[in-house]
């Protein structure tokens, strides 16, 4: 089924949450692996998100304006003897989309909760 | 850099599925995955994880991500064929494209059958299908050519106009098995379409080559009862039919907004 334009899928919600969690710990920008690790640890999963799944989701989030990215100075990477790195940061639009997705999820679960409340 | 065999496989896969993208897009994806591989190896070293466990993880991350890689790649299709600059994804254009494909596939099927079965494709047990296929292909070729003429009536020149007329007549003649006017007509038409940069110049060149070859066969009074000659005939027509599929697929997929050629 084709998903609604701009709608967040669970992985994308998790990525935005992970990025915000990292930001709350003082890491304003995170690269792909860092986000994958945060997702794995947060979900107590055994494995990191697959490459294709992770980077496709990051690409979509950036295209939707929910994330912005920048490439680090190649010299820094060269000095560290590693590949250059792309850093992502959640945008204001991304935060708003995440809040909307969370409240939509809450709304969707409310009627079910209400149904089991004693009258 | 992570130089394990599985990491090499991951890089190879990235190289493969990013083929055809811009150099920047390829480099971006490659560097991002390289950094990920590097980080994971660093983490494995720091935590004392075994090489085997790391390799397994890399392989699984690769395999499980392949469907997403493919769908990502499909969403970032190659920049439209620079050879085909004009067109749109309008219903009319898509219909023309579909007709071109139908015509080429129908005649391609007949051609394949013609090589072993010779003229019995039209007269034997499957004769009805042979005749029907010939008619369908011929009508579709005529319709596509006339459609091109209508679509570009303000841009095609004298060569293209004569080409359309010849193609239409050639379509009728081809129902009797005489295909020379058809290939001459489409060579002229596609040459003019290449001039206005609607199709690649490769297409009229192939049509011209087919024209020369089929005229050569006619002049040489080649005996189509001979299996070898029929195979040669098939081999000569195959690229011609493939160019129609090429044009048809491009039209069906839709191509970008018009880009006017100088003087076009």
Question: When comparing pLDDT for B223 and B95, which is higher?
Answer: B95
What phi and psi values does residue A95 have, to the nearest 5 degrees? Answer: -65, -40
Q: Is A11 on the interface with B (CB under 8 A)?
A: no
| Closest CA relative to residue B140, chosen from B148, B130, B152 | B148
Residues in chain A with CB shorter than 8 Å from the CB of B34 are 83
- The average pLDDT across B165-189 equals 83
What residues of A are in contact with residue B43 (Cβ under 8 Å)? 37
> Which residues touch B18 (CB under 8 Å, ≥6 apart)?
B25, B26, B29, B30, B73
With beta carbons under 8 A apart, name residues in chain B contacting A49.
61
Q: Two tokens at A100?
A: 């909307």
A52: closest chain B residue by CA: B65
DSSP reduced 3-state for A67: strand
Q: Report angle CA A15, A22, B70 to the nearest 5 degrees.
A: 25
Any B CB within 8 A of A49 CB: yes
**Interchain contact, A32 vs B32, CB within 8 Å:** yes
pLDDT at A113 exceeding the cut of 80:
no
Per-residue pLDDT tens digits for A60-111: 999 999 999 999 998 999 999 999 999 999 999 999 999 999 888 777 766 5
Burial group, residue A93, by CB count within 10 angstroms (0-12, 13-18, 19+):
middle
Which of B7, B41, B44, B61 has the highest number of chain A CBs within 10 A, making it the mutation to test binding with A? Answer: B61
Q: What is d(CA B138, CA B134) in angstroms, rounded to the nearest whole number? A: 6
Determine, for residues A47 and B38 on separate chains, whether the beta-carbon distance falls below 8 Å. no
CA distance B130 to B140: 15
pLDDT tens, position by position, A24-68 = 999 999 999 999 999 999 888 778 999 999 999 999 999 999 999
Q: Do A53 and B43 touch (CB under 8 A)?
A: no
With an 8 Å Cβ cutoff, is B55 touching chain A? no
Report yes or no: A71 and A88 within 8 Å, Cβ to Cβ: no
Q: ipTM higher than 0.90?
A: no
Q: What is the pTM of this model?
A: 0.52
Contact flag A50-B40 (C-beta cutoff 8 Å)? no
Residue of A nearest to B27 (CA): A84
Residue A31 sits at the chain B interface (C-beta within 8 Å): yes
> Contacts of residue B69 in chain A, CB cutoff 8 Å?
51-52, 56
Strands A67-71 and A86-90: antiparallel
Helix (H, G, I), strand (E, B) or coil at A68: strand
């Amino acid at each position: 089924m084709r998903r609604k334009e701009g709608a967040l899928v669970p992985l994308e919600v998790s990525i935005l949450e992970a990025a915000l969690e990292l930001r709350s710990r003082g890491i304003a920008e995170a690269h792909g692996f860092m986000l994958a690790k945060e997702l794995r640890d947060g979900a107590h999963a055994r494995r990191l998100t697959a490459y294709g799944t992770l980077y496709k989701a990051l690409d979509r989030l950036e295209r939707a304006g929910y994330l912005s990215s920048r490439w680090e100075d190649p010299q820094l990477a060269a000095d560290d003897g590693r590949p250059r790195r792309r850093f992502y940061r959640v945008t204001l639009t991304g935060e708003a989309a995440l809040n909307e997705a969370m409240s939509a999820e809450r709304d969707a679960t409310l009627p079910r909760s209400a149904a089991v409340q004693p009258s | 850099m992570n130089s394990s065999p599985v990491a090499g496989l991951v890089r190879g896969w990235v190289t493969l599925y990013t083929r055809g993208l811009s150099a920047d897009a390829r480099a971006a994806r490659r560097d991002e995955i390289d950094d990920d591989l590097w980080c994971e190896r660093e983490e494995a070293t720091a935590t004392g994880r075994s090489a085997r466990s790391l390799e397994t993880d890399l392989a699984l991350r690769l395999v499980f991500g392949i469907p997403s890689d493919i769908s990502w790649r499909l969403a970032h299709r190659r920049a439209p064929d620079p050879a085909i600059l004009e067109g749109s994804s309008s219903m009319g254009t898509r219909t023309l494209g579909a007709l071109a494909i139908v015509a080429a596939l129908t005649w391609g099927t007949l051609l394949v059958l013609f090589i072993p079965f010779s003229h019995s494709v039209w007269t034997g047990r499957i004769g009805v299908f042979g005749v029907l296929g010939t008619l369908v292909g011929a009508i579709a070729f005529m319709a596509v050519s006339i459609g091109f003429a209508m679509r570009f009536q303000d841009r095609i020149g004298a060569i293209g106009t004569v080409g359309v007329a010849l193609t239409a007549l050639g379509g009728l003649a081809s129902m009797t098995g005489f295909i020379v006017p058809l290939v001459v007509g489409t060579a002229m038409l596609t040459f003019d379409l290449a001039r206005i940069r609607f199709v690649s110049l490769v297409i009229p060149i192939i049509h011209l080559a087919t024209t020369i070859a089929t005229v050569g066969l006619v002049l040489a009074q080649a005996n189509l009862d001979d299996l070898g000659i029929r195979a040669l005939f098939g081999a000569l027509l195959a690229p011609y039919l493939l160019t129609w599929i090429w044009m048809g697929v491009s039209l069906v997929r839709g191509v970008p907004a018009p880009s006017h050629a100088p003087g076009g």
